[in-house]
Amino acid sequence: MSNLDLIDSICGTCGKEVSLTKLRVSTNFQYGQDFPVDDFEVFICPRCNSGSVLNLKLQYKQGRRREEIELLQRSAVNNADMYTLSPGPLPMPRLKNLPDDIESAWDEVLNAGRASAWTAAELMCRKILMHIAVDQFDMDEGLNFTAYVKKLDEERFFPRMMMPVIDGIRERGNRATHDLASTPKEQAIKTLDVTHYVLRTVYEMSA
């Protein structure tokens, strides 16, 4: 969701869910030319004041009027496929009160997601869920992934409506490690969602 001056995003610097606010438009028209020589906008995070640069993926043709170009730019800012932001937005927010080892693992998940490395992001989420089970219930290390998910489920770490998603995560987690099947984005996002929920419940909300 965005309008001309705001983009709802998870700040690539501070990891908070914010509306990035447009600072200025920097579309430069070179003298004598009717298409822009560069095309970017600077957005500011209201939480940490860091800037993100938005680059529009527009192809300009000679002979377009400036008003037409501005119209194109407006519609592009409303469509996430039509621009890139740098630093790239995080796929999920950062969390407070995480133990150091879990915080660095969650950072790895977020950075993998930001780079669209969804298989790596999901693998790391599985490690986090196993870690939580071992940590909270003194379970043995090296058990089957299902055993950890089962324990977390028995201890009511997952709400009922999450169960179809949990089953999917468990099923993918049980595939042999030599299976190179990759995780599509929408499945990885569900796993990130569940992991975020559990981390938030265990560490952030109970702190």
Q: Which range touches Zn ion (CB under 5 A), out of 7-15, 21-29, 75-83, 93-101?
A: 7-15
**Position 7 contacts Zn ion (CB under 5 A):** no
Tokens (6 digits) for 202: 């265990």
Q: Min. distance of Cβ 45 from Zn ion in angstroms?
A: 3
Q: Which range touches Zn ion (CB under 5 A), out of 12-20, 96-104, 146-154, 176-184?
A: 12-20
Smaller CB separation from Zn ion, 88 or 168:
88
Tokens (6 digits) for 42: 């600077």
**Position 11 contacts Zn ion (CB under 5 A):** yes
- 148-181 burial code (b ≥16 CB/10 A, e <16): bbebbeeeebbeeebeebbeebbebbeeeeeeee
> How many residues lie near Zn ion (CB under 5 A)?
6
Q: Min. distance of Cβ 108 from Zn ion in angstroms?
A: 20
Instruction: Answer for the pair 156, 137: CB distance below 8 angstroms, yes or no.
Output: no
* Angstrom distance (rounded) from CA 58 to CA 63: 15
For residue 135, how many other CB atoms are within 10 A of its CB? 13
Which positions from 21 through 80 interact with Zn ion, judged by CB under 5 A? 45, 47-48
Q: Which positions lie near Zn ion, rule CB under 5 A?
A: 11, 13-14, 45, 47-48
